[in-house]
Amino acid sequence: MSSDTLTASPPQGRRLDKRRFEWGSSVLLLPAGILIAAVFVYAVIYSFYIGLTNLSLLGPKAVAYNFTGAANLSRLVNDPFFLHSLWLTFIFVFGSGVVGATVIGMALAVLMQKALVPVRLFTGAVALIAFMLPPVTIAIVWYAASVPQGTLARIFGNPNSDPLFSAPLLFVSLANTWSLAGLAMLMFVAALRNIPKDITEAATIERVGAVRRFRTITLPLLKPTVVTCGLLMTLLSLGNFTIVWLMTGGGPGTATTILPVYSYQQGFEFNNLGYGALLGNVMLIITAVFGVGYVLVARGPRRKKGRSS
Amino acid sequence: MTSATEVVRPAADFHGLKRVAVRRVTAPGILNNLILGAIAVLFAIPLLWLVLASIDKHASWSIALPHFTLSNFSSSLSAGRGQSLVVSLELASIATVVATVTGTLAAYVFSRRHIPWKGAALLFVLFLSGVPINVIIIPMYQIFSQAGWLSVVPTAVFIGITGLPFEIWMIKNFIDAVPAELEEAARIENVSTLKIIWRVVVPLAAPGIGAAAIYGFVNAWGSFLIPLVLISNSAQQPGAVTVYSFISAAGVNYGDIAAFSILYSIPVVVLYLAMGRFFRGGFVLGGALK
């Protein structure tokens, strides 16, 4: 600091101009700290250990399991199902979460600005209810819609066709998009509210068309929200095991074994808890990459204000 | 908000415009409403099945005009399925209490006290709120099975912890908005910190703590994978797992599935609506992104 050159000697004893750590704080932090450490720190470290063992759900290796070093790792890189699953995860997360939910959420928010009140209220209510419903219910209604004799099969003209069987990844993705679009819509409604009215009004007076107005004014101003929303949707889609598991169980065959499903199957259906944990660790690393991105974006505007509280 | 006949005012002789532009029913306006309406109808199809099938005596997987009955709602709760909603309530209540109490104490420190690496710790907490449960379910299963915890109460505590990071974030943001002067007055009177939290901070931040508790409850109520894996007694499974066993069961009454799904979902929707009152839209942003 430049002020050091001015003071003859450093201040003696405790400084009074800086807030100090109070030991009472640690007592208050302790309960939450212990719980979070037990689950998110201990369990994660333990998971990395289990991932390198031959731990099994049943049989002798459920008790007497050993550290097998890189055996699971070499299995992982030679596992064609793993690569397949990684690819499916990418399509599912990127297609339904990042593109699907973000685009539809934005479209809903933008269209709602100019819509008639009843249309706007109806759309908002439906999208929000879809977002609020518990994952299990979302899976049920989409299962009902896409099985033979279901609504979509009838709409497509052949009641005996099986849309869920013919295009399983498409329908679990649609269910995921359906469940997340309401949240994306909320984010974009809030962001659109923050766009100053006079900019768009000025453009309207200059007779700039609606499409160009959206492309050159609204969209650039929404860019931060698009990034935040895309990252949040990535994380939420990665966590959306329940919808896929209930609708297809990862099938037919391996058509929808996204990473969370594959990890669950390895652990609890094929009894390979060790290998399942390793797949979970891969997922954790992917989450961490996107999570760090999300956190950095989320705190972006905060940093400019300087250090607050 | 813009209504259909709003007058765009400063137009009279601006850049050669001759007349005041009155926005009436225009082609783009109709198109706008049609597209939005079409998306809304597509969104409503799955929901429509849920509602119609629940009151249909001969329900199928398809949307159809119902043969009206309310008996699905009572029959869907038979065979121990009503009991599973009680388990859901038990799980969600324990999880909510655990996360909200510990979360409030931690949020108070994050909001008011000076602690080292606070910024980093808060970002870590925010990051944890996005970690998918699948990542830690296998180690948690191993820990629980070795400790003999594969039952309702320990599972409820674990579910509570999964919601804890986000609850800390939400509550912290609300405590930030409570003026510190009130606490300082109490501190001068030598009131203990716990009493200050309970008597000053909690009442003033009550809407935020309430919203966080609702988030915790909804998170636990919807939890499927955790109870499926961690509760070994199938008679002790919550409503979410019951819905799952419904689909896979043979010879099932579709009306029962729909009715049970509605009974299971209603508490969540009602609580979300209550929470929306605290936030007025954009509530998830309120916690994470403000």
- Considering A153-162, B95-104, B122-131, the range whose residues carry the highest mean pLDDT is B95-104
Residues in CB range of A287: below 8 A, 6 or more apart: A235, A238, B130, B131, B132, B135
Residues 59 to 78 of B: which have CB under 8 A from any A CB? 60-63
Q: Tell me the chain B residues in contact with residue A33 when contact means C-beta distances shorter than 8 Å.
A: 106
A74-107 in b/e form (b: 16+ CB < 10 A) is eebeebeebeebbebbeebbbbbbbebbbbbbbb
Interface contact A106, partner B, CB < 8 A = no
B251 touches chain A (CB under 8 A): no
Which residue on chain B is closest to A190 by alpha carbon? B282
B11: pLDDT strictly greater than 60: no
- From chain B, the residues in CB contact with A18 under 8 A are 114
Interface of A with B in 217-276 (CB under 8 A): 228, 232, 235-236, 238-239, 241-242, 245-246, 259-260, 263-264, 267-268, 273, 276
What is the average per-residue pLDDT within B210-233? 94
Spans of all domains in chain A: 80-267
C-beta of residue A106 within 8 angstroms of C-beta of residue A226: yes
Establish if A147 touches chain B: CB-CB under 8 angstroms.
yes
Supply the pLDDT for residue A179.
Answer: 95
**pLDDT category of residue B278 using cuts at 50, 70 and 90:** low
Q: What's the whole-model pTM score? A: 0.86
What is the architecture of the domain spanning A80-267?
Answer: Orthogonal Bundle (1.10)
**What are the tokens at B88?**
């859901």
Position A15 scores a pLDDT of 62
CB-based contacts of B124, cutoff 8 Å, min separation 6: none
Domains in chain B, please, with CATH?
1-42 (no CATH), 74-288 (1.10.3720.10)
Among A174, A189, A101, which residue's Cα sits nearest to residue B45? A174
Is a pLDDT exceeding 90 seen at residue B145?
yes
The alpha carbon of residue B205 is apart from the nearest alpha carbon of chain A, in Å, by 17
Alpha carbon separation from B228 to B137, B157, B223 (Å, rounded): 10, 15, 9
> pLDDT grade, residue B68 (50/70/90)?
confident
CB contact under 8 A, A119 and B37: yes
- Two tokens, residue A209: 């068309």
* Least confident window among A43-52, A199-208, B212-221: A199-208
Which residue in A has a C-alpha nearest to residue B217's C-alpha?
Answer: A134
Token pair of A79, please? 């596992």
Tokens matching residue A123: 């759309």
Q: Do A299 and B123 touch (CB under 8 A)?
A: yes
pLDDT of residue B154: 96
DSSP A11: P
Q: List the single residue in B8, B40, B264 with the smallest CB-CB distance to A122.
A: B40
Enumerate the residues of chain B whose CB falls inside 8 A of the CB of residue A268: 141, 229
Give tens-digit pLDDT for B74-83. 888 887 788 9
| Angle between helix A168-193 and B27-54 (nearest 10) | 130
